[in-house]
Amino acid sequence: MPRYSSRQPSTPAITPHYDRAEQRSHKPFRVLVVDRGMDLAKQLERCMDTQQPIKVEHACNLGEARERLARRPIDLVVADTTLPDGSGFDLARTLRQRRRRTQMLMVTDTPTVEAAVQAMRLGAVDFLTRPLETKQLTQRVREVIARQDHDHHQTQRIRRLRRACHKLNEAREEISQQVDILCSDLVSAYQELADQMQQNVSSTEYQAMVRQELDLEQLLLKTLEYLIDRAGPTNAALFLPSTADEFSLGGYVNFDCSSDAADLLLQHLGDVFAPRVAEHAKVLRLNSDKVLQEHMGDDAAYLAECDVLAFACQHENEALAVITLFRDRDDPFDDQLVDICASIAPIMAEALSRLIRIHHRSNLFDDEYGDERSDEFGGELA
């Protein structure tokens, strides 16, 4: 009688390169023999050596086999094609439907090509014919054990690779976030540097305008013109100290106020607002009615709905001028204008201080030599 074997010719016995005992962690290889008699189960127990722990169970029919499969995991099923309540093919269909990893060997007394093909299609790893030789049975079972060990190793490897990929993705996301933060910081630093450079350019331009200016009216005029040129159409008022706590108007640009309203507003700005601004070292940005109320009190209504910039030109902790810019809040000032005001304030203060020193020396000179100079030149200096 011919003997059929379903082993794939290109698949030799697999010898894994890792420690099989370590992979299974002393877990026995469970084999379920489904056969009417006990001969096959006993033969399988005798043929196995002690290197691989094997637990052999026996089921005499299809129903008992299904119960054992449902009770615990089985690594290998060795089933006869003919059973009292069905066939090994039915059991193979059950394993295939449940997508179990259990391997299956089919055993038959009457082999046919059709039966061998059917067994292969149902997922059996081999199709053996009785009587079985011990050496043949041992070899087939060892091949199944090696194949499952190899599959187990591959599964573990895939899990490790997935964990590694997950960690790499987390690291990539973290690096991506750090790169985004770094790029944002670089953009902010670049913008800050550009603003500082622009501020330096603006302060240099203004300093060049007023450096040699010795006339007070021209100094005030150039300062207001410079601010109007940077701010665009706006109202601007420049106040000079008249006494310790009072300021008087030194120059004014009227953009959108009526004459009567402007007179009242300027009076209030000089009497109330300028002395308060003089106490601050930084530029004040008043762009809400609440903030205006805090700095102007009940008279904040004069500048209601206005965006206001105000700053003091301080020299040695003394305010030598107060400048105020204001216009409708619907056309707010650019934030860059705040930096421009901050940059020109000390330059304006230094220019005013220089004029004061020159004027003071001139007065001292006139007081000491006035009469002699008059006699020498035949009269007073114009």
Enumerate helices (H) and strands (E) in the chain, giving the number of each.
11, 10
Chain mean position to CA 279: 43
Please report how many Cα atoms fall inside a 13 Å half-sphere around the Cα of residue 222, on the Cβ side: 20
Contact residues for 254 (Cβ-Cβ < 8 A; gap 6+): 235, 262
pLDDT at 346: 92
Contact residues for 77 (Cβ-Cβ < 8 A; gap 6+): 31, 32, 34, 65, 69, 91, 95, 102, 103, 104, 105
20-159: CATH number: 3.40.50.2300
Q: What does the pLDDT look like over 330-351, one tens digit per residue?
A: 999 988 899 899 999 999 999 9
Assigned token pair, 11:
């698949």
Assigned token pair, 48:
């196995």
CB-count burial class (<10 Å; 0-12, 13-18, 19+) for 259: exposed
Q: Residue 320 in 3-state DSSP?
A: strand
In whole angstroms, what is the distance from residue 307 CA to residue 329 CA? 5
Tokens 């007081």 sit at which residue?
A: 367
Residue 21: pLDDT band with limits 50, 70, 90: very low
Q: Where are the domains of the chain?
A: 20-159, 211-377
Q: What does the pLDDT look like over 170-223, one tens digit per residue?
A: 888 889 889 989 888 888 887 777 666 666 766 788 888 888 888 889 999 999
CA distances 373 to 83, 221, 294, 364, 379, Å, are 143, 33, 55, 13, 8
Residue 48: pLDDT band with limits 50, 70, 90: low
- Identify the weakest region by mean pLDDT among 135-149, 162-176, 281-295, 355-369: 355-369
Beta bridge partners of 77: 32, 104
Helical packing angle, 113-121 and 88-97, nearest 10° = 20
Phi, psi torsion values for 145, nearest 5 degrees: -60, -45
Residue 2: pLDDT band with limits 50, 70, 90: very low
pLDDT at 369: 52
Task: Determine contact, residues 76/65, Cβ cutoff 8 Å.
Answer: no
In whole angstroms, what is the distance from residue 308 CA to residue 291 CA? 10
Check whether domain 211-377 has CATH 3.30.450.40, yes or no: yes
Of residues 260, 324, 256, 259, the one with CA closest to residue 296: 324
Of residues 356, 283, 294, 267, the one with CA closest to residue 322: 283
Q: Is the pLDDT of residue 161 over 60?
A: yes
Residue 11: pLDDT band with limits 50, 70, 90: very low
Assigned token pair, 89:
């093919």
47 or 185: which leads in pLDDT: 185
Q: Residue 24 in 3-state DSSP?
A: helix
Tokens 């299904």 sit at which residue?
A: 66
Task: Determine contact, residues 301/274, Cβ cutoff 8 Å.
Answer: no
Task: Determine contact, residues 227/333, Cβ cutoff 8 Å.
Answer: no
Q: Residue 55 in 3-state DSSP?
A: strand
Q: Residue 253 in 3-state DSSP?
A: strand
133-144 as b/e, with b when 16 or more CB fall inside 10 Å? eeebbbebbbbb
Tokens 């420690």 sit at which residue?
A: 19
Q: Residue 188 in 3-state DSSP?
A: helix
In whole angstroms, what is the distance from residue 280 CA to residue 144 CA? 89
